[in-house]
């Protein structure tokens, strides 16, 4: 049987050592990603949400092989990417790309737009200057930019247009998988939806698969087929977007949902206010990591860690007392 996933994390961990003193002794670890297993199906958008610092970017980067895993596997088209030779890895680089939150920070301001978009082609393809120019024009048109402006610098473009430049760069080598890390978070709401629509159009036309990372559920709702909710280094719930919004099973998901302002909601959703601070990923709470803040916590939650299991058909949750 062929694998159901284009890319899959299996028991993935990424720890950052905490060093102290003159001899840089390791005194602990920031457990940024701590035993995460999930997969992204070909052609889908998997939305990944959770509070700041819960490990979303680290997970995305380990899956792209931009950071090395501490433990566990990342399988791309069935192959463990950490075991590939250098030639295979080079091929993999072309198949997987990233779009960042801050296009200004990721685009060299001294490069012309045509050179920014053409750079991956120059590095990875044997193409003449005129072939690259033709392809840059084609890519700019594909992402809705005026190609006659390719001899300009990125600062001459608006925030939304700069994000389109970042997207054109990311798709230049025709990748299969793209991690969009807070790709629209810095944009105005109206521009956000234009860029989301562009990403969806490109997905249709180019057969792309996305891991779409954002803080809040409202941003991922429109674009995602499925959503994974992260809390302190763990995925605590996975469901189709419709099912997750209709009925969250994990208390933390319910908290995130209750934070979205909903002017005309049938059957009003009560706003749940979280108690306490986000605990440190260097010293996560015992048992269920959410227990110090969970409004539904019981004694068992303090001692026994809940595994991410099938809690309802096609849905996973890591909670001893899911909200049915």
Residues lying near ligand ATP in the complex (CB under 6 A)? 16, 30, 32, 50, 52-58, 215, 281
Residue 127 or 259: which CB sits closer to ligand SF4? 259
Cite the DSSP H helix spans in the chain: 56-63, 86-95, 103-106, 113-124, 129-142, 159-171, 189-206, 217-221, 241-246, 251-258, 299-303
φ, ψ of residue 109 in degrees (nearest 5): -70, -15
Residue 228 or 251: which CB sits closer to ligand SF4? 251
Report the C-alpha gap between 52 and 232 in whole angstroms. Answer: 9
Least separation in angstroms between residue 181's CB and Mg ion is 6
When CB distances are held under 5 to 8 angstroms depending on the partner's kind, the choice from ligand SF4, Mg ion, ligand ATP, none that residue 204 binds is: none
Binding footprint of Mg ion on the chain (CB under 5 A): 57
Q: Tell me the two tokens of residue 62.
A: 């380990």
112 neighbors 98 (Cβ within 8 angstroms): no
Residue 154 or 281: which CB sits closer to ligand ATP? 281
Residue from the set 224, 291, 311, 316 that interacts with ligand SF4 by CB under 6 A? 291
Residue from the set 99, 288, 308, 311 that interacts with ligand SF4 by CB under 6 A? 288
Residue 47 as a binder of ligand SF4 (CB under 6 A): the answer is: no
Least separation in angstroms between residue 30's CB and Mg ion is 14
x/- map, 243-282, ligand SF4, by CB under 6 A:
-------xx-------------------------------
Q: Which stretch binds ligand SF4 (CB under 6 A): 52-60, 104-112, 183-191, 316-324?
A: 316-324
214 neighbors 47 (Cβ within 8 angstroms): yes
Report the C-alpha gap between 77 and 98 in whole angstroms. Answer: 18
The residue count of the chain comes to 324
Report the C-alpha gap between 145 and 136 in whole angstroms. Answer: 11
Residue from 102, 163, 94 nearest 123 by CA: 94
Place of tokens 């709401």: 189
Residue 321 as a binder of ligand SF4 (CB under 6 A): the answer is: yes
Residue 170 or 236: which CB sits closer to ligand SF4? 236
Residue 60 or 281: which CB sits closer to ligand SF4? 281
x/- map, 211-250, ligand SF4, by CB under 6 A:
---------------------------------------x
Query: Between the CA of residue 209 and those of 45, 197, 234, what are the distances in Å?
Result: 6, 15, 22
Place of tokens 């750079």: 119
Least separation in angstroms between residue 153's CB and Mg ion is 27
Residue 170 or 294: which CB sits closer to ligand SF4? 294
Residue 139 or 184: which CB sits closer to ligand ATP? 184
Residue from 79, 53, 52, 40 nearest 179 by CA: 40
Residue from the set 217, 306, 308, 311 that interacts with ligand SF4 by CB under 6 A? 306
Touching ligand SF4, residues 156-175 (CB under 6 A): none
What is the distance of C-alpha 272 from the center of its chain?
Answer: 25
Neighbours of 15 (CB within 10 A): 20
117 neighbors 172 (Cβ within 8 angstroms): yes
Report the C-alpha gap between 10 and 67 in whole angstroms. Answer: 16
When CB distances are held under 5 to 8 angstroms depending on the partner's kind, the choice from ligand SF4, Mg ion, ligand ATP, none that residue 120 binds is: none
Q: Which residues contribute to the site for ligand SF4 (CB under 6 A)? A: 250-251, 288, 290-291, 294, 296-297, 301, 306, 319-321
């Amino acid at each position: 049987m062929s694998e159901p996933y284009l890319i899959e994390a299996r028991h993935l961990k990424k720890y950052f050592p905490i060093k102290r003193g003159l001899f840089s002794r390791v005194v602990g670890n920031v457990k940024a990603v701590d035993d995460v297993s999930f997969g992204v199906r070909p052609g889908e958008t998997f939305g990944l949400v959770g509070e700041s610092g819960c490990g979303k970017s680290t997970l995305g980067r380990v899956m792209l092989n931009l950071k090395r895993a501490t433990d566990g596997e990342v399988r791309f088209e069935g192959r463990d990417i950490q075991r590939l030779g250098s030639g295979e890895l080079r091929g993999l680089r072309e198949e997987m790309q990233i779009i960042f939150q801050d296009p200004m920070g990721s685009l060299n301001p001294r490069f012309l737009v045509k050179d920014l978009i053409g750079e991956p082609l120059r590095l990875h393809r044997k193409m003449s200057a005129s072939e690259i120019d033709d392809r840059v024009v084609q890519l700019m048109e594909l992402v809705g930019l005026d190609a006659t402006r390719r001899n300009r610098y990125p600062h001459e473009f608006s925030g939304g247009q700069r994000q389109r430049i970042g997207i054109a760069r990311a798709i230049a080598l025709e990748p299969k998988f793209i991690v969009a890390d807070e790709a629209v978070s810095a944009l105005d709401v109206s521009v956000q939806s234009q860029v989301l629509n562009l990403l969806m159009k490109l997905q249709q036309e180019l057969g792309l698969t996305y891991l779409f990372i954002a803080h809040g559920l409202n941003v991922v709702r429109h674009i995602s087929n499925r959503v994974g909710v992260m809390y302190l280094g763990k995925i605590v719930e996975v469901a189709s977007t419709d099912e997750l919004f209709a009925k969250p099973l994990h208390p933390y998901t319910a908290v995130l949902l209750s934070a979205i302002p909903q002017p005309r909601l049938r059957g009003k959703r009560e706003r749940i206010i979280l108690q306490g601070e986000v605990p440190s990923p260097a010293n996560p709470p015992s048992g269920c990591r959410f227990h110090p803040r969970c409004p539904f916590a019981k004694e068992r939650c303090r001692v026994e860690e809940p595994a991410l299991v099938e809690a309802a058909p096609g849905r996973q949750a890591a909670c001893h007392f899911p909200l049915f």
